[in-house]
Structure 1
Amino acid sequence: MSSFTDPRRRGITGPVLTVVAAGTALVLLSSCGDGGKGTRDEGVASIATPSSTVQKTADPDAGHVRIRLDDNQQDINRLWDAWTNCLHEHGVPGNQKAPAGSPALKACELKYPLQPVEMDPAANPRYSDGVRAMVKCMNRHGIKSVVSNGNWGLVSGDSMNLPDFDKYRVECQVKSFSAGG
């Protein structure tokens, strides 16, 4: 479990969970989703935590919340808000980093949004194909994107302010990283 704070607290407000500035002017993006079918409930119930009867398994990610490939920025923000609210409820003041191994991190561990398997290069053998497809799709919609360091990225972070950016990001992500994509 990582001890870093909500990416939005580091000034990252785009529709992605992680934005990494490379040595160049590229903004690397990585987004999340579990590729599940159907729609997510719009209420708090969609951020449900596992019951207290969940037993420890060999899968360290079992029970964690996952951001879906088809989640829009509001869905993603709701998941991050649930995690940061949990940290606050367990004594981590706003805008502060939770110390590694802290009781707050332990208490909120299952609310920390994980990347989907489709967006994990180690778990998805088609990840590189998905990255290339994502870049092509975004560029087709006028959002200048590139492949850099094995991930897709924006030529300029300003692209996140373009009309319909989130719509196209979700559309391209689902098409590019889904099993049938």
Structure 2
Amino acid sequence: MHPWHDIAVDPDRIESELPVVIEIPAGSKNKYELEKKSGILKLDRVLSSSVRYPANYGFIPRSFCDDGDPLDVLVLGQEPVVPMTLVYVRPVGVMHMRDSGKADEKILAVHAHDPAFNHIRKLEDVPPHLVAEIQRFFIDYKVLEEKEVVVDPFEGRERALEVIRTALSDYWKMRANER
């Protein structure tokens, strides 16, 4: 099974039960990344800066973005999640950024089955300091690699859902062009 291509996403359930494959557990300095051809998780690098991932980090199966990768997701929850675990999430916002000149959007979501996050339904429900920490992480995480990252403010749930729908549609366009 290939985690990018073989996990179905029900477009009618993306608001409450969106599947995400975790690549990086919260608190890690290791940057794991899906090897697109094989579907195996590889260690891309260890972060150079003295920061750690502020949330579990993964991707939406059967999605595709302008950077050539599946759509990234930060998943808020009580515990770090083991890489290659499938988690169902509820999207609450989106952060737009440019990483080395390329658009690289990040969906902010909560674990749909974590009781400590059950009350979070929209971006405004997320503690503001946590949102600031996440933005700061992405501003700082490549500083010592001397790579430029530009982070824009988060946008809310409706914009996040638009970005997700576009990425799901773009996946099928990309697959059709491969044939």
The normalised TM-score by structure 2 is: 0.24
Between the two structures, name the one with larger relative contact order (CA 8 Å, sep ≥ 6): 1
Of the two, which has the highest radius of gyration? 1
The normalised TM-score by structure 1 is: 0.24
Instruction: From the two aligned structures, give the one with the greater helix fraction.
Output: 1
Instruction: From the two aligned structures, give the one with the greater strand fraction.
Output: 2
